[in-house]
A = this chain, B = another copy of it.
């Protein structure tokens, strides 16, 4: 089973080493992890990166998405395109977040820093980890909720313990399919 390892991890200063650590964790659970790091092209054009990501997605059976909030109230935007793509393709979707803080609470905190472009915009939180389309896509695509810190404490942005729990869940779900 090949898993596309989506997430803002590609933006980390040590992205290559971090990707390797994720691949090692996946291997422990019998999953081949595919991190979308385009390393063999120096200063690639953006279209090259997009096409390489989609080509890698095409070869993957499932996505394991890092849905930790990034530069806003929600998960990383590029990652969300990829989650939607796997759902649209009818492939399995798993996701995790290193944030234990509910979406509504994060949204309120953001709005204190950055007002909405107009008054009266209302987004219901439903007690979820993100905009309902995201837990919806993960549950519809993989059969399980977004994996969150079990102890209710936010993890470091690059922590991997919640990722590992998500990989274990995906491995178990795929075996019992």
Contacts and interface: CB of A to CB of B under 8 A. Distances in A.
Interface of A: 8, 11-13, 45-47, 49-51, 53-54, 71-78, 80-89, 107, 110-111, 113-114, 116-124, 126, 128, 130-137, 140, 156-158
Contacts of A11: 121-123
A51 to B, nearest CB: 8
A76 B119 CA distance: 17
Contacts of A13: 119-122
Contacts of A89: 88-89
Given A11-B121, A11-B123, A84-B88, A77 B133 contact: yes
B81 A134 contact: yes
Contact of A136 (B50, B84, B107, B158): B50
